Structures are given as C-alpha cells and as structure tokens.
Structure 1
Amino acid sequence: MTHDSRQAEDDLAFMRALVADRGSDTHSFGIIYMSAGVLYGLQCLLNGALLGGAIPTSTPAWILIGVLPTVVFLGVVFYERWRTRGTDAGAGTTSRALKAAFVGGAIANMIVALIIGWVAYERRDWSIWFLFPVVVCAFQGAIWFTVATLRRRAWQGATAICWLASAVALGLLIDYTAAYLVTLGIAFFACMALPGYIMVRSPAQTQATA
C-alpha cells in the first residue's frame, strides 16, 4: 500500500512537472522564431517578386536579399542570448523536452542541408536544393505535433498542420520557382512568424492574469 501511495505521488509530481511552463526561454525563443519567420518570409517573397519580374532584377538586389536577412537574424539571436544570460531557462519537464526537440530538429536540418547541398553540387542541378525547404517544413510539422501533444493548445496543433500542409504544397510546386518561393514565404509568416508572436505575447498575458 505504501509503495502504491509513493508511486501515485511520484506520478502526480511528474504530471505537474510535465505541464509546467516557466522561464524566460519561451519569450526569448518566441522573439527569435518570429524574427526568423518575418525575415525569411520577406526574403522568399522578394525573391519570388524578382523572378516574377515585379522587381527589377540586378546583382546588388540578389545579394542584398540573399545576405541581409541572415545577418539581421544572427544579430537577433546573439542579442537575445546576451539579454537572457543567467535567467531561468525553464524548469518544467516539458520545457526541457521541447527545447531538446527543437535543437534536435535544427541539427537534423543542418545534416540534411549538407547532404542535399552536396548532391545538388555533384549533379550540378540546383533544383534539387528545393527539396530542402520541403524537409524543413516536414520536420517543423513533426516538432509542433509533439508540442501540441504535450501542451494541448489549439494554436500549436494548427501550427503543426500548417507546416505539414506547406511541405505538401512545396513538393507540388518544385517545378514552378516563383510560385514555390511565394508559397514558402507565406508559410514562414503563417507557421513561424505568427506562432512566434503568440509565444511572445503569452508570457505577458499570463503575468497580467496571475
């Protein structure tokens, strides 16, 4: 009986830790995630506009659109890491598990990028590179499905569906470059910038209603 009671207490403690959502990492990650969605979403839309002829094509324009978003994004990442140094990074079991999922997804993305990039280089066919965003969207969909399963929030489930639907759409548009880029840009705004904004706003709302 004592063993059963202790097991029940352990299970209850685990469930409390599982739903815990503390720490400044959610707000900081939301800023980084939202920034990535806005910057790379704009990059894809501008590239689509260049290919579609809506913007006059020039070498400086290609370079600026190709390089500037990454420079700004890295600046946001470094600033947020510096700003949140030494603060609580989230003590809940779910917080640590989800952080591990996103980090693991990022590592998988880098490996896939190297593989697809190498194959595209070897075959001198850069259309192969268009498979990489498809894989990224699928990975993000899987990660957000995990988030939604653990957190049980509707917007997280919608984010997972949005990422997976984007992967399918991009796969169908690989041969239509301009449409592909515009679709990817919209996906960044809908699946990355918007969820990031929600994460940025959520801690403030929680604190205001506490």
Structure 2
Amino acid sequence: MFPAKSALSIHFSILIFLSRLLFLTSSLESWRADKHVAMFVFGDSLFDAGNNDFLNISIDYKADFPPYGETFFNFSTGRSCDGRILPDFAATYANLPLLLPYLYPGFNNFSHGVNFVSAGADVLPQTDPETLNSRIQLSDFKKVANLLKQQLGDAEAKKILMDAIYLNSFGGVDDVRFLHNNRNPTESEMEEFVQVVMGNFTDVIKVN
C-alpha cells in the first residue's frame, strides 16, 4: 500500500496529466487545419518514444522488449506502454507523422519535429546521471534549431519554431525520488523541493 503522501502525489500527478490533455486538445484545434506544423517533445517515460533504446544504460530504463508495444505496433518501440503515448495521439490529431526519437540512427529531418524524451529523465541532473535530463534535452533542441536554420534558412526555421507545438512531462521523476528518500516530508519541505525543481528547470530554459 502506498503511504498517504505518495498516494496524494500520484492522484495529483493524474490530475495534472488530465489537465494537460484537455489543454493540449483545445490548443491543437488551432493547428489542426494547418498544412504543416512541427511538434517538439521533452520529458520522462510518459512521453518517451524510444531514445533510451539507443543509450548504454540499464534495462530498467528501457522498453525494447515484450509486452511493450504489443497492442498497437505489434513490437516494442521503446515506449513505456503497450501502445501509443500521448504525443502520438497529439501528432495524429495535428496531421503529423508519429515523431521519431532524436537518437534514432540516421534521422536528421526535423521539419515535423522530434521527440527528445528519455524515460527516467529528471530536472535535477544529480537525481539520475544515466538518462537524458532536462538540460541535455534542451541542449539537443538547440542543436536541432540550428540545424533547421542551416537546412531551411533563418526565416523558415523561425516560422517552424514559433508555430510549433511543445510538449513537456518533466518533474514526476524528481518528485517520486524525493518521496522515496524522504518518507515523511513536511509540507514546507515539499514546497521547498518543488521550488528547487522549478528554479532549476527555469534556469535550463533560460540557458538554452
């Protein structure tokens, strides 16, 4: 049985997820009619399309074996579920192809966007050094932005980046590990931790 605070955190995470889904659905309405739009995805296992499959890390952070993927793709794709993830549904709704993971070998056409996500990724880099944390993912996005400028020119690249859909699922891993390491945190300790995570994520965005 989950401790009360852990259960509360899980319920809160579910509410956040559902609110993001509702916000995303309403936001996509304005893009759906467009002929071209890009989508860039960041975060943890909720949105990972398979980047961890191309990292030399523990199998605990991978989803390249059954039963993952068995109900839709009929093979494991690196997604931490048996079918599609929310970015897949968002891409379909916006008339986009399912986004490939950034580390997919030989992939360099980012005009429709790309998935930078890494299962187990966090905002605080010291939490888990094996995965692609927020700083690494935002740094990779900066590389993609520069590549788009080289391929398409500054004006077209700027238009794609300005009109793009951006999805993010960071924070859950940091929260779970905090609760694991602090079995009975006080309300002030939890609030302080949230501020630390938000502060670090804000700094990452500003730097990149």
TM range (shorter): 0.3 to 0.5
Higher strand proportion (structure 1 or 2): 2
The structure number with the bigger radius of gyration is 1
Structure scoring higher RCO (CA < 8 A, sep ≥ 6) equals: 1
TM-score w.r.t. the length of structure 2 is: 0.32
TM-score w.r.t. the length of structure 1 is: 0.32
